[in-house]
Every structure is written in structure tokens, then in C-alpha cells.
Homo-oligomer: A and B are copies of this chain.
Amino acid sequence: MTVSRRRVLGMTGAGVALAGAGVAAGVGIDRFGQDAPAHAATDLVGFHGEHQAGIVTPTQENLHFAALDVTTKDRAKLAKLLHTWTDAARRMTAGQEVTPGGAVSGAAAAPPGDTGEALDLPASSLTLTIGFGPSLFDGRFGLAGKRPAALVDLPVFPKDKLDPARSGGDLCIQACANDPQVAVHAVRNLVRLGFGVTEVRWSQLGFGRSSSTSRTQMTPRNLFGFKDGTNNVKAEDADLVRDQVWATEADGQRWMAGGSYLVARRIRMHIETWDRETLQGQEQIIGRTKGTGAPLGQAQEFDQVDLHVRGEGGVPAVAEDAHIRLASSETLNGAKILRRGYNFVDGSDGVGHLEAGLFFIAFNRDPRKQFIPMQNALSSKDAMMEYVQHTGSAIFAVPPGVREGGYWGDGLF
């Protein structure tokens, strides 16, 4: 049974939350007895907790990511908006309209409380995750003293070709769901609630979860056709998650304990050039076989990468400039990241090609020790750099999870 938003509306109070929480995953048959979208599983991901959802949550199929700028200088307005957003996120992640009956009722003279395009759709495992960019800690809101040391301005990496219109942002909203319409609806409604306080700086849709956050998921493929992210931190790696994903009070800013740092990179892939490379060449560049995803020199995808294996003539199985060697924790003093990237195609590039690539999202406890050294190694030496171009970049401090009655960033404001 699907509990659609409108059906939920027929229930009240605690019954709503219970009905929501009790829904099992499944393919929906809507209340009209017609086939609902086959992908619209009714999973609900809980909103409250020590950490925000949408980080170690098993990666959903679709992404809508938006970076916003704050247009007011009024700190109280900003704090109020975060409160409003939290209330809306609580409801939307439970498969409900932003306000009860908001899309289809309300005062004749008032705009609807919900935009309506997700009315017939289940929650679809929607998670909403927000973050604060370095620019939020400039002078405007009296937050300069609360900027975490780990929230550095990212350096310009070798070969970066960043578009300012696709970079930065005071705030970010990451919406992940198994239905793109549900993710878009969520971002659009938060943006709508922000009128007069925030505006969209840039926004990115993604599909095909180009990396998985859980060992319960098949490793998906990026637009180079390779399984991607096999060796990154997974939700089940309890020690790694504790040590390399979550910030602690000891890291500096108390309000960030239980939070994490999100790095977003829009990576254009030159798929046309890649597609002219031989299979062997592609595998050398990645360091894995294309079919199974096994590291070169090994048999299975999850076999331990051995950077010392040599093949014919003593040549290293995994080349010196192979992607998995340079990104390996072995060469990075044990540093790892948790990845939650998505593939994208944004129309065409105007000169005959698809504008395709990877919207890379990493969560890490301290980018200075994790993402930055990794990206420095990759952008200076990775053979793959010939086929990619980093066109957008941003970093956000992702505050800890929200408790019942709390709101996003209540430890900061």
C-alpha cells in the first residue's frame, strides 16, 4: 500500500507520524488503483538523530543539490528561515505536504502552502541535508568567531577551471530521493520559503548514484562506464565513519560535533575523448577492470587493492598514475572519504558534445587531512585528468542532526 501525501492528510496528529513510520518499501499502487511510478518506493528515512540524514543513508537514486546565497543581513531572519525549513523538511521527508492540506486548500487570498507536484507521490526515501558555506561566517551575521578551522576555503587545485556561477554559496541543500520529482519538489519548496532571505546561486540535478554509501548496494557506474567508489568509506565501516566522517567537539567548534564537511565538485567528463580510448587504456587509467570492477592484478571488485603487484616485465599492475593508486588511503596516510556522487548530463556544450560528468560529493571530518591532499594528488598526477575538468567547487560545514523540537543549525545561532 502506498501512503500518498493526500491519503496521509486524512489522518491527524500522531497518527500521521505513525502511519508514515510504519510504511514498508514497495512498489506503489495509488488510491485510484492505477499504477504509480514503479520506482516510487515508499521508504521513509527518519529526519531526527545525532547526525543529519543523507550522509551515511544508503544512496538514493536521484539528487537535487542547490547552493544559496543569503540576501538579507538580518541574522534573526536567517535563523527564523532555518526554523521554517526544518519544519518543512520534517513534513516532506515524512511524505507530507509542506503544510497540512497546503497544496489544495487554504485562504482564497493566500498562495498555496505547498506547490503540489509531489502530491500523489510517496516519500521515496527523501532526505534533506543542509550545510553552511565559508561565506556565511563573514561579518554579516556575527558568526565569524564560530567558523570551524576545518571549513577552509578550498585551494585552487592544478587544472581547475572553475565557473564562479557554479561554485560557492552561503548555504546548501542536498535533496536525495528515489524519485527526481520528490527531490525537486523539496528543494523548490525550501527555496520558495526562502524568498526575501535567500536566493539560488546554483543548482545541480544528478542521477544513477555514481557511488554507494552502503555495502547493501551494488556499486554503481559513472559515465566512464566504471564502477566507482568501491574503496570509499561505507556506512557499515563503523570505525572509519566515526574517525573520518563525523566531526567532534575536540575538533574545535562545539556546534559542529556530530556534523561533517561536504565538498562538492562539478566534474565535466570529456566522454567523447574517453570513448575513443581502448578498453585496456581505460582500465590502466582507472586501475580496475571495467567488467567486474576488480583492481588490476586481483579477481573481484572488493579484493584488497595491492599497489605492489607487478605483471609482465615487472610493470606495476596498477600504474603509477592510475586513479585508484593516487586516491588510495595507502598513499594518503590512511585518509579516506565518504562519497555520495551522482552522474549528470546538462544538455550540450554548444560545440557538438553532451555536457556530461560527475557531480562529486564527499563527506569528511577534516578536508585539510582528507579531501584536499587527495585532490592535490589526483589533480597533479592522475592520468584521468586528461579526460575531466573541474568546473564547479564548494565546501560546506554540515551541522549535526536535529533533535525533536530543534532546528537546523540551532547550535550555531
Contact = CB atoms under 8 A, between A and B. Distances in A.
A37 B38 CA distance: 11
A200 B39 contact: no
Copies in the complex: 2
Given A104-B290, A205-B345, A218 B112 contact: no
Contact of A223 (B107, B117, B178): B117
By secondary structure, the A interface counts as: loop
A171 to B, nearest CB: 13
Contacts of A110: 278-279
A25 B218 CA distance: 20
A111 B277 contact: yes
A290 B112 contact: yes
Nearest to A181: B208
A347 B34 contact: no
Interface string A327-344: 000000000000000010
Interface in A186-237: 187-188, 191-192, 195, 199-205, 207-208, 216-218, 220-226
A300 to B, nearest CB: 10
Given A104-B289, A117-B222, A165-B350, 9 more contacts: A27-B27, A38-B61, A111-B278, A115-B275, A180-B180, A184-B223, A188-B271, A195-B272, A203-B348
Interface of A: 6, 25, 27, 30, 32, 34-41, 61-62, 64, 66, 69, 71, 103-112, 114-120, 165-166, 178-181, 184, 187-188, 191-192, 195, 199-205, 207-208, 216-218, 220-226, 271-272, 275-280, 282, 289-291, 343, 345-348, 350, 352-356
21 contacts: A39-B40, A39-B41, A39-B179, A66-B348, A104-B289, A104-B290, A108-B280, A111-B276, A117-B224, A117-B343, A119-B221, A179-B208, A180-B180, A181-B208, A184-B208, A188-B271, A188-B345, A200-B348, A201-B348, A205-B346, A346-B347
